[in-house]
Amino acid sequence: MNTLIGTLQYFVLITFELVALFMFISALVEIILMYVPEEKIRKRLSGAGMFGNVIAAGFGALTPFCACSTIPMTVGFLNAGVPFGSTMSFLIASPLLNPIIIGMLGAIVGIKAMIAYFVIAFLCSVIFGFVMEKMGMQKYVKNVRLKPSSCCSGSNNIVDKRALPFKGKLKIAFANAWDSLRPIMGYLLIGVALGAGIYGYMPQDFVMNIAGPDNPFAIPVAAVLGIPLYIRAETAIPIGVALMGKGMSIRAVIALIIGGAGMAIPEMTMLASIFKKKLVTMIVLVIFLTAVVSGYLFNILL
């Protein structure tokens, strides 16, 4: 009975925290995007050299897109003539540096871990995007055009909102945040329920043997395990936190989140419709390396 009560308390507390964080962060990002001219972003992304990769990774970090928005936007960048390397930096950074992931990590795991995660994932997005262009991987892009989708973001008509007073922007931002939360609420509850079950009932020794600090292969194993566990970022975070409470190292948790967020099966399926197999395989390898490198670098940054 005590275990059941503790599990239910964990479920209620984490659900409340994640819903509040989602609403606040989504509204904040909505307001920021209302002040960012999209035309200037496109021009900056077209910058020569690694500067374009930096801007693209920063834009990917600012935009809380899911796959159904990120993929069409990636195609839009390519069709608009944005350099391939910058586009790849955006594609890598968008899921890994989702503001929801960053905010939840900071609130639940700690500010130092959040900063370390952001720095490592950002640098990997910039470097790998630059390297992929130098390797000539753009020849594996299919000649396709996709219509933008808005299935998980309510911030499409940003240009029409810039003239509104701040109170009007604030009202629309929270309304859009709620519109974004409603369709993924079920996924969030699934993630919290799984995390609560792990927290209450999974044997600690089992987690320690697979992904504890004494297992030298814990990080690559966690990166691979993150793929089937991932449904949405809001689902992966509570699962990772619960596993950490059972003895999984923070390094392995970070690898699990990156592996799941970056190599999610739905996103890889969509990528296969616009990229040839070699490029999709390359992106999977890049995300896996980012997860592993991030996990091992945590010892240095923390």
The pTM of this model reads: 0.69
Average pLDDT value for the chain = 75
* Average pLDDT of span 195-212: 65
Residue 150 has pLDDT above 50, yes or no: no
Residue 28 has pLDDT above 80, yes or no: no
Least confident of 46-60, 65-79, 86-100, 278-292: 65-79
Using CA atoms, how far apart are residues 173 and 159, in angstroms rounded to an integer? 14
Predicted local confidence at residue 126, as pLDDT: 92
Question: Using one digit for the tens of pLDDT, what is the confidence trace for 155-187?
Answer: 444 445 666 777 888 888 888 778 867 766 776
Question: Using one digit for the tens of pLDDT, what is the confidence trace for 88-147?
Answer: 999 888 888 878 778 877 876 778 888 888 888 899 899 999 999 999 998 888 865 544
Least confident of 17-21, 64-68, 109-113, 239-243: 64-68
Residue 37 region, left (φ>0) first, then alpha (ψ -120 to 50), else beta? Answer: beta
Using CA atoms, how far apart are residues 238 and 206, in angstroms rounded to an integer? 18
Place of tokens 């999610």: 264
Among candidate residues 270, 253, 264, 269, the one with its CA nearest the CA of residue 287: 264
Going by pLDDT thresholds of 50, 70 and 90, the confidence category of residue 206 is low
Using CA atoms, how far apart are residues 23 and 178, in angstroms rounded to an integer? 7
Predicted local confidence at residue 153, as pLDDT: 45
